[in-house]
Amino acid sequence: MQLIQITPPATPGPFHWSRKLFHMIGLVIPFCFYWDIFAGWTNYADSTRVIGIYLLSLAALFILLLDLLRFASPAFNQLFFSLFGGLMKDEEKGRFNAVTPYLIACALLFLFCSREVVILCCFYLMIGDPVAAYVGSRIGRVRFWNQKSLEGMLAFVLAGLLVSIVFLYFHGLVAPHTFFDLYANDGSWHYDVLVIVLSGSILAGIMEFFSSIRLMGLWDDNLLVPLGGAIGMAIASALWFGGTEQHILFEYGRLFATGP
């Protein structure tokens, strides 16, 4: 088995834009969290976080049960794919829906991470993954043993960094002079934040590169990439910018804290 080989770019097959665009609907989840849509709905200090974790857990359980029903009934599985097959991979007919690990990842991010980190990690997956797939299938020449390309991996990291910069810019307009503002108080670029989000994009890209489908689809890049992004940002924050961890991580012990 060759670890690395140089090959001519493969003749690309059709790129499933509809499926990729459908998956981007998943960005609604972190945006709802970012905009704190359930603020004031409960006595908890962070109602959106608490409600979000419950809703994500229930949604994941519902889809999991739906998939188990598919596996138990070939007729229902065929009906399900006749309705939604265009939005799913053919291989998903015999494994769990890719939405489930994504919902699990979002629930874990809600529990352990700040709002900004949650949305950045979802961007890594939703933007970086299709960009990597497109670039790798079109111009990828340096291929590894798992058939993933160096060009696709670099495209993933670059896309993750660029979308992070765009987010940081608009976040700075909404919440100026906060840690995740693109610009520091003196007007210069907030380089420590750029290093942190780049670290997140790099580790997310590494997780995507090494990801494989296990546990019938419950363990795949939809779970690993967002969590990898959060871990990358947390490591960079702890190693190089001590004292900034509170901007990356949420103290999960305060999940059910009450008050304003």
Can you give the three-state secondary structure of 186-240, one letter per residue?
Answer: CCCECHHHHHHHHHHHHHHHHHHHHCCCEHHHCECHHHHHHHHHHHHHHHHHHHH
Burial label, 27 (beta-carbon count in 10 A; 0-12, 13-18, 19+):
middle
| pLDDT at residue 11 greater than cutoff 90 | no
pLDDT value at residue 218? 84
**C-beta of residue 64 within 8 angstroms of C-beta of residue 100:** yes
pLDDT band at 75 (very low <50, low <70, confident <90, very high): confident
What's the CA gap between 180 and 233, in Å, rounded? 12
Beta 4-6 vs 142-144: how paired, if at all?
antiparallel
| pLDDT at residue 29 greater than cutoff 70 | yes
> Tell me, what amino acid is at 201?
S
**Separation in Å, CA 10 to CA 28, 90, 141:** 34, 21, 8
Closest CA to 203 of 148, 240, 161, 143: 161
A 10 A CB-CB count for 95 gives 18
Measured between alpha carbons, how far apart are the two ends of the chain, in Å? Answer: 59
Mean pLDDT, rounded, for 203-220: 88
pLDDT value at residue 106? 98
pLDDT value at residue 41? 94
pLDDT band at 240 (very low <50, low <70, confident <90, very high): confident
* Of residues 249 and 19, more confidently modeled: 249
Q: What are phi and psi of 249, to 5 degrees?
A: -105, 150
Q: What is the percent of the chain where pLDDT is above 90?
A: 56
Q: What is the chain's mean pLDDT, rounded?
A: 88
pLDDT band at 211 (very low <50, low <70, confident <90, very high): confident
Mean pLDDT, rounded, for 63-88: 82
Mean pLDDT, rounded, for 192-212: 94
What is the distance of C-alpha 104 from the center of its chain?
11
Q: What is the percent of the chain where pLDDT is above 70?
A: 91
Mean pLDDT, rounded, for 210-232: 90
- pTM for the full model? 0.91
Q: Which residues contact 76 (CB under 8 A, 6 or more apart)?
A: 69, 70
The residues pairing with 143 across neighbouring beta strands, listed in sequence order, are 5, 149
Query: Quick check: helix, strand or coil at residue 2?
Result: coil
| pLDDT at residue 87 greater than cutoff 70 | no
